[in-house]
Amino acid sequence: MSISPSNSGPPALELRGVAKAFGSVVALTSADLTVHMNSIHALVGENGAGKSTLVKIVAGLYQRDAGDFLLRGESVDFRSTAEAKAAGIAVIYQEPTLFPDLSVTENIFMGRQPTQRFGRIDRKAMRAEAEELFTRLAVRIDPDRPAEGLSIADQQIIEIAKAISVDARVLIMDEPTAALSGVEVDRLFAVARSLRDEGRALVFISHRFDEVFALCDTITVMRDGQYISTDAIQSTSVDEIVRRMVGREVTDLFPKEVAPVGDVLLEVEGLTSAGVFHDVSFTVRSGEIVGLSGLVGAGRSEIVRAVFGVDRYDSGAVRMHGKSVPKLNPTAAMAAGMALVPEDRRKQGLVLESSVARNLTLSTRTRLSRFGFIDSSLENRAAKDWAGRLEVKTNALDTEVGTLSGGNQQKVVLGKWLSTNPEVLIIDEPTRGIDVGTKAEVHRLLSQLAGEGLGIVMISSELPEILGTADRVLVVREGRITAEISRADATAESIMFAATHSTESIQ
Amino acid sequence: MTTTTSTQTPTGAGGGAFQRGLRTFLRSRETGILAALVIVVLITTIKNPSFLFSQDGFRDLLLTPSILVLVAVGQAIVIITRSVDLSVGSVVGLTAYLTGRLFIDVPGIPIIVVFAAGMALGAALGLLNGALVAFGKVPALVITLGTLYAYRGINVLWAGSNRVNASDLPKDFLALGTSALLFVPYLTIIALIVVLVAGWYLRNQRGGRELYAIGSDPDAAQLYGLGVTRRILVAFLLCGALAGLAGVLFAARYGTTNSQTGTGLELQAVGAAVIGGVAIFGGSGTVYGAAIGAVLLLTINRALPILGIPDFWQQAVVGTLIIGAIVLDRVLSLRLSRQLISEREVSA
């Protein structure tokens, strides 16, 4: 931390009052970010605070709706990633995008390989340069091996090598450490510091405060698409930053009726899938909502998909009412009384081109058919019942589902699964992309269902939602459950802490 | 192109490089498929020596697959970019008929002009496919299935029940289709040149490497800022031009063309590419593999009757070969990725 940012001359990167909306969903209202040369700048905020959108604007992937975007003091307007790249901006994403079939060397130089006569690629020169880059970064990666199967850490190193080889002046790293082990993080930080000392500007996005405070010299906080504050790292503290990230009253938005908690319905014991999640155990009782919290990519969706039998797992057991549920068999899971409402409802939950009625009855079609044909009067009656109970706002049951709003689509998905009369409902990000009013309705509905004796597992990346609706919170970090917090003890800070710190430091 | 260096040994110079080259050669898909071809030829020759050792036998061995090789090379280029061109059979038909008509309607037309015209028509039809795929954002499978019928329809409309006969074509032109230079038929020489040039381009030119990149991960290609649209257009254009060349040579080889010429060739071409190790999801494989695949496919077809296997089974054998090739690819890549994951788990 010896080097302080040199403030002479214009900043390497400056954003002022940047706004961006996708249709009616506002991702950024007013974002500011000023990054100087010779500096590693932390950008922090909750999931959905708008960090990724901001990064994509800088990278040229999105175009801003309003605000200023300056690079070394000059206003810029990128229409493509190629333009941003040419201007010296490199973005290293959490999951790098490499060409799996091609060699490491080719991945670094694709599109600008050194050539000889007749445009022939100079493989020798290319390989030598790749080796030189790796030597400079002090890493050992075989330049000839295919990118397929490289660890995320190595893939990021390749992205960094790529950035250095085009002499990028601004490097943005979007949660680069999320999937790295301790040693790999150390290596990445050593590389980052040497890049800073070469006079480059780095932006480091991370949820791990210990890392942020170890690496960065300046920190900017964002919340709800807005700029909150920028401080020198020495003059602030973790508590201070977390408070600013969360900073809002949450309780009144989510009406919660506490239901009597009954018997254990679902038991998950020691569930492990190599490389995805490890030793996951929890129970769900009738009448309770169990919140599954954690950062995006922590493995929450993967866990419930395995529980429901969509994905495989290597060891462990899933039991309903004490009876074990076979793995990799969603039909058996449904028969045992489970229902899974997936995260991406457009892709996994709905047949967008079909009618509301057909979608609502999709999972009960065998019950509604006679002689193997679906009885449409039976189907319509069943659908009407559910559409009414869930207050799906649609003119007619034969409207195409794709034309409904996000909130109503979510209700149709919910209705589809509730019509199977499940005892345990697993719901992944129930209110993603839904406006605030409908959100409250979905929460009321979940609360009411729990009151009727359903056990609910709810994955949510929104802390207020978890705090408002869950009776118990399980925090997942890097494929492991790192904390179980009761409703009384759950605070945004305690959950955020468990989601960003390793298990050892909690116990 | 299936180099699997699971151990991260730093590469030494000299002997190391040679050993690595040898290992790559032994493990590569092209070597395997070439070995299969040699075995087929050997067994058939043992059963009936004239399959290889008569003058006709040797000539047919080289001549028969040459046209399919051209089409398969074009197909491989398109498949490498994660597309497919099902219209090539119809393009061959159209250009073959064009060839005949040109000789009939323009007496004394130079042969070289006919070649240029055939390839130009093929390139134009290919470009149309590419434009529909690149700008329409519709999967190539659907687009080219459509143009397969559309191009064939134009051919039927144009030719009607007419046919071009060998007697309508100049002798010099027909000689090109059957005669040889020092035992190697001209057709085979042309095919060989095309294979070598295409293989060199794909391996050594930026444009060629970008075709692999696009097929390997189209989204990443976009993020890299590669000219994806332009490359896809070029791939389809090349594929069409090669099909056009194949059409002209078809006329030279067989003399007779009508409105049904080239029917079914597209599936043989896709089959040849797949057997030759071109991954159907793009990003890997070589035109050398596709070419050897084409030779293997047609050689097996000719070998089976000699081996006493009834006609009835021939198609089944080809089908088994294609499925076997795909299953082999899948199993190998699954095993590799599993192995890499567990290696990481251990080291973590």
Number of domains in chain B: 1
Q: How confident is the model at residue A495 (pLDDT cuts 50, 70, 90)?
A: confident
- Residue B33 in any domain: the answer is no
Q: Is B49 exposed, middle or buried (0-12, 13-18, 19+ CB in 10 A)?
A: exposed
HSE, CB side, 13 Å, CA atoms: give it for residue B276: 29
Residue of A nearest to B345 (CA): A275
Judged by average pLDDT, the poorest of A446-460, B230-244, B331-345 is: B331-345
B332 within a domain of the structure (yes/no): no
Average pLDDT over residues A231-249: 80
**Range(s) of the domain holding residue B274:** 65-308
In a domain, B25, yes or no: no
> Could you give the ipTM of this predicted complex?
0.81
**Mean per-residue pLDDT over chain B, rounded:** 86
Q: How far is it, in rounded angstroms, from Cα A45 to Cα A461? A: 12
Contacts of A112 in chain B (CB under 8 A): 206
CA-based nearest residue in chain A for residue B227 = A111
Q: Is residue B147 part of a domain?
A: yes
Q: Which residue of A has its CA nearest to B205?
A: A120
pLDDT surpassing 70 at residue A370: no
pLDDT tens profile A148-179: 878 777 888 888 888 888 888 999 998 887 66
pTM of structure: 0.73
| Single-letter amino acid, residue A367 | R
Is A58 within 8 Å of chain B by CB? Answer: no
Q: Rounded to a whole number, what is the distance in Å from the CA of A126 to chain B's nearest CA?
A: 12
How far is B224 from chain A, CA to nearest CA, in Å? Answer: 7
Inter-chain touch A140–B221, beta carbons under 8 Å? no
| pLDDT at position A246 | 74
Residue B254 in any domain: the answer is yes
Is residue B257 domain-resident? yes
Q: What is the pLDDT of residues A426-474, one digit of tens each?
A: 998 887 766 666 777 788 888 888 988 899 999 987 787 888 889 999 9
The larger pLDDT score, comparing residue A195 to residue A462, is at A195
Best mutation target among B82, B200, B204 (most A Cβ atoms within 10 Å) is B204
Q: Which of B28, B224, B280 to mutate to test the interface with A (most CBs of A within 10 A)?
A: B224
Please list every residue in chain A whose beta carbon sits closer than 8 Å to the beta carbon of residue B340.
Answer: 148-149
- pLDDT value at position B14? 44
- Cβ B72 vs Cβ B272: under 8 Å: yes
Tokens of A270: 């020691």
Residue A1 in this model has a pLDDT that exceeds 50: no
* H or E segment and range at residue A369: strand A369-370
Is B1 within 8 Å of A274 when comparing Cβ atoms?
A: no
Contact across the interface for B8 and A142, Cβ inside 8 Å: yes
Domain assignment of residue B213, yes or no? yes
How far is it, in rounded angstroms, from Cα A86 to Cα A169? 11
Q: Do the Cβ atoms of A147 and A104 come closer than 8 Å?
A: yes
Please check whether residue A210 touches B, CB under 8 A.
Answer: no
Residues of A in contact with B337 (CB under 8 A): 148-149
SS3 A60: coil
Residue A22 is predicted with a pLDDT of 79
First to last CA, chain B: 29
Q: Is residue B76 part of a domain?
A: yes
pLDDT in tens, B114-150: 999 999 999 999 999 999 999 988 889 999 999 999 9
| Amino acid letter, residue A354 | S
Which stretches of chain B are DSSP H helices? Answer: 15-27, 29-47, 50-53, 55-80, 88-105, 111-136, 140-159, 171-178, 186-204, 206-216, 218-224, 228-254, 265-275, 287-306, 311-347
